[in-house]
Structure 1
Amino acid sequence: MKRLQPCAYTATLDTETLVCTRGRDFPVALLASRMRCPRCGSRRVSVIFDLPPNHQRLGAAAMLKRQTDW
């Protein structure tokens, strides 16, 4: 058997792009099953959710509210 080295590619996903391409109702838990590594083409990917610091979250919530008020 041939042993392959795991790909170490990492990227930050843009939430706005994900919502535009997958839809607002797309379950976040299924995101990894729909992804593919752009470098090696593998479907074995891991998605890690990292929340921004509290002060950035508050700013993002205000921006989201402002966008929904239109």
Structure 2
Amino acid sequence: MGNYEYNVVAIYNYDGTQPPLPNHITYVFAFHDGQPVALVDQSRDGGPRLTETQNNEVKSNFAEIAE
């Protein structure tokens, strides 16, 4: 995989419609140290703050696709 710490392969964004607005969920699917990782950002102000998602369905589905 590339020469970077994280190699992003896909991004999915959902813009919410329920207050408080703006709200969104952005998933970043990447490889880190050769392993698939699903990151998430739900920040409302400023730049993105990516952390590993706690959504087990998203994590396991991406790992399955990455195999």
**Greater Rg by CA:** 1
- Identify the structure with the greater helix proportion: 1
- Identify the structure with the greater strand proportion: 2
TM-score range, shorter chain: under 0.3
TM-score calculated relative to the size of structure 2: 0.28
TM-score calculated relative to the size of structure 1: 0.27
